[in-house]
Each structure stands twice: as C-alpha cells, then as structure tokens.
Structure 1
Amino acid sequence: MLYDAADDPAALSTTELREAYETQIRTVVDDVGVEAAAAESGVDEAQVAALADGAVPEMHVEDAAALLALSDDYPDSEAIVLELRDHLLMGMTTGVLDVDTIASNVALDLSGQEVQQALEGRTSMTLEQLAAIHGYIAERNDR
C-alpha cells in the first residue's frame, strides 16, 4: 500500500524509500506484464515499461495505486490512496507536525500549502514527493 513498502522508512533516504515503493509496484507489474498492467490500470504504457526497467520518481501516487490494485493482495486504487493519506495524516498528528514544518525540512520545492494540497489529494503527488514527506514524518515519529 506504499506506506508499508519499507519496514523502517525513517532509516531510509528519500531515494531508498522511493525505490522500495517502486519495488512493491514492480512486483505487481512483473506478475501481470507491462501491456496488461497498462491496459487494466489506465496508466501510460511507456511509464509502466519505465517502471519495469528502473526508477520512475515522477510517477504519480494515483498511478502507482492503480498498478498495485491489479493484484488480489491489495484493495482498489481509491482505497489505497485514501489509506495512504490517512497514514500520513495520522503520522503528522502523532509527530505533532504541520505542513509548514514538513515543507521546510524536506528537499522538495514545495510550500506548506502545496504539501497540504498533496496530502489532501487536491494536487497530484509523485513517488519522489511521497518518499520525502513519508520519510520525514516517519523520522519525526521515531524520535
């Protein structure tokens, strides 16, 4: 479900955490095949092929969820996205974090408002952005 792709996200760099997401998604794509994954998920076939071959930091969370949802091991894509958002927001609550603190502590060119919009689903979030935000929240909760 993306947020559970790594056992200890706080211990990983943004790149390592993003790679854990990609590995989780790639497992599903490998099981169903690139063409079938693209056709069934609605994700661009070139992007699915790029994932099968390596890193896709610009893949959007919604596309990642659509690919994960192809497996019987995961719920539908909407449930994946909603559960991911809930997990991040609960982590913010536990870590007593606000969006401005996150924005100022992650290596993304996002304002607090843009972080909030991404977390709430009002704008699309990439896997790279998710990894930076998720990693920071996890790190703060490990303190």
Structure 2
Amino acid sequence: MLADEIQDAEAVTAEDVRAEYEAALARVVEAEGVDAVAEASGVDAERLAALVDGERVEFTVEEAAGVFAVSDDWPDAEGLLLEVRDNLMLQMSSAVLDVEALASGLGDEFDPKEIQQKIEGRQPMTLGEYARIYHHVASENPY
C-alpha cells in the first residue's frame, strides 16, 4: 500500500493519496479491532478509534507500518518501512530528483537535509508528509 506506485499522479492529489492510506489503515483497524491493533502496534487506542470514526488523525509512517503489520495481509513493520524507503529512493532516482529538487518542488516547505533525514528514517515523517513527497516524486517520474 505505502510503496504502491501512483499510476496517474495527475489524476490524484497528495491529499487523495493520504486519504487512501488512511482508509487502508482504518480497514485494518476495523478488521483486527482497536484494542488488538493498539496493543500490537503501540499506537494509542483513542487515535485508532478516531481513525475508524472517520476523523483526521496524523500518523507517522512508522506508526502506519506498525498498524499494517498487525494484519496478515501486510509484511512486518520493519520490512514495510524498508520497502517504503527503498521504493521512494528508487522513484526519486527514476525521476532524476535529488533532495534539493524535491525540496524546491514541494515549495521549500522542507529543507533538503530534513527531507533526506525523513526519507532515511532518521527523522519522523508523517503520513501526510509522505503522501506529499511520494505524490510529487510520482508527478515528476516520466515512467
């Protein structure tokens, strides 16, 4: 889910991508149960319940991976995080984007060093930030 290619970046917004991620998270929580997901992922049960109720809840990519990992349909959290980071870097390479170009393309909301640290997992990245970054990379990718 998080590492799936965005097929037509012009047809969706970064907000659409984020909403898709959140809907997938909500489906996992609904299927597995709020308490079970909270216990297994370490994510607060109140935030998970709010997500299921349709509220906007900000998760980090690490938290999202932990939630997905509760389901047998997804790899373990660490494996998913590695896949997400590797895929993002591969997509950046295909689009011939470095962190400076990515920062510029995102309106300089983040500095290049901050983006690099987020992509490498040395600084937390919210699901919303990831959706914006991943969507922008997809929109720049010619393939």
The TM-score, its normalising length taken from structure 2, stands at 0.91
How many Å separate the matches in 2 of 1:9 and 1:17?
9
Alpha carbon RMSD of aligned pairs, Å?
Answer: 1.9
What SS is found at the alignment partner of 1:69?
helix
Gaps of 5+ in 2: none
What is the match of residue 115 of structure 1? 115
What is the match of residue 37 of structure 1? 37
Q: How does 1:2-81 map to 2 (within 5 A)?
A: 2-4=2-4, 7-56=7-56, 58-81=58-81
How many Å separate the matches in 1 of 2:10 and 2:135?
5
Deviation per residue, 1:9-52 (Å, 9 max, x gap): 45311111100111111111110111111111111112211221
Gaps of 5+ in 1: none
> Do the aligned partners of residues 141 and 97 (structure 1) sit closer, same or farther apart at CA in structure 2, a change above 3 Å counting?
same
Number of aligned residues: 143
Name the stretch that deviates more: 97-106 or 6-15.
6-15
1:123 maps to amino acid: Q
The TM-score, its normalising length taken from structure 1, stands at 0.91
CA contact (8 A) 1:29 1:52 kept: yes
CA contact (8 A) 1:47 1:56 kept: no
What is the match of residue 91 of structure 1? 91
